[in-house]
Amino acid sequence: MTDAIRYHVLNKGNASQLLGADVFDNAVDDLQLATFLDDPGHELVFATVRDKVVGFASGNVLLHPDKQPAFFINEVGVNADMRRRGIGTSLCECLIEIARDRGCKGIWLATEMENEAARALYRGIGGRETEHIVVYDWDGAMDP
């Protein structure tokens, strides 16, 4: 019998579960976490097994004066030993549902061409892969 995977929408009541999680690129910073929680345009969902965070997906609502709200999926991460169990799929589907519930009319993300696993995940949940997109960044925004 395997341990159950539980899914959570981040809120002030469960935010402390992210502290010490090793699924992020860096350690979760208390101040950044509080700022994230205080901004109503940000969303994060996460998965746990027992009390260990094993995956997350985050994004934010993009507003513009002449367009309907859109949603940018910023990051998706699942611990290496927990991959290929549907966690990434469930997290993305949950985040997309949240975006749609918030009235977002477009949902998008970007990933590296060589990231075949991520591309397969996004195609598998109905994402349309676009071509001929060039990304520019400033101040190291795209650095690993």
pLDDT at residue 50 in the model: 94
pLDDT single digits (tens) 77-129: 999 999 999 999 999 999 999 999 999 999 999 998 899 999 999 999 999 99
SS (H, E, C) the chain: CCCCEEEEECCCCCHHHHCCCCCCCCCCCHHHHHHHHHCCCEEEEEEEECCEEEEEEEEEEEEECCEEEEEEEEEEEECHHHCCCCHHHHHHHHHHHHHHHCCCCEEECCCCCCCHHHHHHHHHCCCCCCCCCCCCCCCCCCCC
Identify the band that residue 140 occupies on the pLDDT scale cut at 50, 70 and 90. Answer: confident
pLDDT single digits (tens) 14-25: 999 999 999 999
Q: What percent of the chain has pLDDT over 90?
A: 88
- How does strand 5-9 pair with strand 106-108? unpaired
Mean pLDDT for 7-14 is 98
* pLDDT over 60 at 1, yes or no: no
For residues 122 and 84, is the Cβ–Cβ distance under 8 A?
no
pLDDT single digits (tens) 51-61: 999 999 999 99
Question: What is the CA angle 16-94-125, rounded to 5?
Answer: 135
Residue type for 101, please? Answer: D
For residues 43 and 99, is the Cβ–Cβ distance under 8 A?
yes
Cα diameter, the chain: 52
pLDDT at residue 2 in the model: 65
